[in-house]
Amino acid sequence: MLAIHSILKRIRETRGLSQRKFSEISNISFRQIQRVEKSQSDVTLAKLQKLLGQFGYEVLVSAKEPNWNILESFGFAMHLDSETLINADTLSFLKELKLAMSFLSENRNTAGYERHCDCLKALLLAIQIHYPSLFQKLHGKDWRNISEAFELDKIQGRHIKLRNISLSILSERLSR
C-alpha cells in the first residue's frame, strides 16, 4: 500500500504537472503540495477526496485484513497441514481475532471467504465453550453480540470438526 504523499506525487508526475500547476488545479496551496510530497504535512480527507476525484480516483476505506498466520497459530484451522507457529502472545491473538471478526463480517458473502468464516466460527465456538473468560474479553462493551453475528447457535458437522482441531491447537497455545 502506498502512502498518500507517494500517491499524490505519482498522479501529478503521471499527468506531467508541476507542483505549481497541480496546486492550481487542486486548490491546495503550492507550499502544502510541497510539504505533502515530502511527508511533512497531511491533507484532510475531504480535500483528498476532492483532489483524487478530479483525476478519476476515489478514496476507499475497508476493514483491515487480519494476520491469518497469528490466528492459525492459535487454532484458526484454515490450513490443516500447516505446522508454522507464529510466536505471538494472547493479546496479539485477541487483537487479530477482533480484526478477523470485523473483516469477515464485512466480507462474509465475498467469494473465497466461506472457509475463513467457517474457521472463525469454529474457533469462536471453541473459545466460547472452553474458555468463557477469554470469550468475555472478546465480547466486551465495544463489540456486538458475537453469538448472533456469527450464528454460533447454528452448528453443522464441519463446524464441530473444525472446532475440535481449533481446540487442540488453542489449548496447547494457551497453556504455555
The CATH number of the domain holding residue 24 is 1.10.260.40
pLDDT, residue 81, reads 57
92 and 38, same structural domain? no
How many domains are contained in the chain?
Answer: 2
Q: φ, ψ for residue 164 (rounded to 5)? A: -65, -40
128 and 84, same structural domain? yes
**Distance of CA 88 to CAs 92, 105, 168, Å?**
6, 24, 17
pLDDT, residue 86, reads 74
- DSSP SS3 for 50: helix
Q: Which of 31, 54, 77 is the last residue of a domain?
A: 54
pLDDT, residue 141, reads 57
pLDDT, residue 27, reads 83
9: cell is 506525487
The pLDDT averaged over each successive group of 10 residues in the chain (176 residues) is: 82 92 88 90 85 86 87 86 71 92 87 90 94 84 71 92 93 86
What count of Cα atoms within 13 Å lies in the side-chain half-sphere of residue 126?
A: 25
Residue 14: which domain range? 4-54
pLDDT, residue 80, reads 60
